[in-house]
């Protein structure tokens, strides 16, 4: 099983995460931010990854450090779990509908981190989170997981639906991209013989 645990402690946050890539979507998430917990549960459940994450952060300041650092730690944990990326499908794209909202997520497990984020919100908060923090999370996750990640909200009215479709779209794209392709026969899916660098 592709699985890893990462612990990161700073003056702002103390986070431990475990990811089992080939899981059943079982999640135990506790960040102290209810809406973020809900989104990370979507990531695990729809990506069919088991995720355990416990975070203690300086929420008395604001939610920025905790949100960004969970993205960092989950990205690092995923990168460690998939290792050399042998045999993976590598690329995936998903159109994810949620009621009136539709989001497109395309990714490459490239080892060359990059985020394109074309998502706009009409409210400053969704649940108890500042809307601007979602881009911070996706950026931190992509950078530390080594993903080329494109997320675009094509349309939608309900801000909750828009952001949830982003997380579910990421989950489904990751599930596809990390699937082991039997035709690869354990090879790294690159003509260079390695991914990244």
% of residues, the chain, pLDDT over 70? 96
Architecture in CATH of 3-184: 2-Layer Sandwich (3.30)
105 close to 170: Cβ distance less than 8 angstroms: yes
pLDDT in tens, 64-83: 999 999 999 999 999 999 99
Name which of 127, 128, 133, 134 is nearest 166 in CA terms.
134
Beta bridge partners of 114: 148
In this model, does residue 182 exceed pLDDT 70?
yes
Domain ranges of the chain: 3-184
Close Cβ partners of 193 (under 8 Å, ≥ 6 residues apart): none
Model confidence band, residue 1 (pLDDT cutoffs 50, 70, 90) = confident
- pLDDT, residue 196, reads 72
How many Å apart are CA 76 and CA 78, to the nearest integer?
A: 5
The values of phi and psi at residue 13, to 5°, are -145, 160
Of residues 68 and 188, the one with the higher pLDDT is: 68
């Amino acid at each position: 099983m592709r699985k890893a645990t990462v612990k990161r402690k700073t003056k702002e946050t103390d986070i431990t995460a475990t990811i089992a890539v080939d899981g059943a979507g079982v999640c135990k998430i506790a960040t102290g931010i209810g809406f973020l917990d809900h989104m990370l549960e979507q990531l695990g459940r729809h990506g069919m990854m088991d995720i355990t994450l416990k975070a203690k952060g300086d929420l008395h300041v604001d939610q920025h450090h905790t949100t960004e650092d969970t993205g960092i730690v989950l990205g690092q944990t995923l990168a460690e779990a998939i290792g050399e990326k042998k045999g993976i499908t590598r690329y995936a794209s998903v159109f994810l509908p949620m009621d009136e909202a539709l989001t497109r997520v395309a990714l490459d497990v490239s080892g060359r981190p990059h985020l394109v984020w074309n998502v706009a919100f009409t409210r400053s908060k969704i649940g108890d989170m500042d809307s601007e923090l979602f881009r911070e999370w996706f950026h931190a996750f992509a950078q530390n997981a080594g993903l080329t990640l494109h997320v675009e909200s094509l349309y939608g009215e309900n801000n909750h639906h828009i952001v949830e479709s982003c997380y579910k779209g990421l989950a489904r794209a990751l599930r596809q991209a990390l699937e082991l392709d039997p035709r690869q026969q354990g090879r790294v899916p690159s003509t260079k013989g390695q991914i990244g660098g």
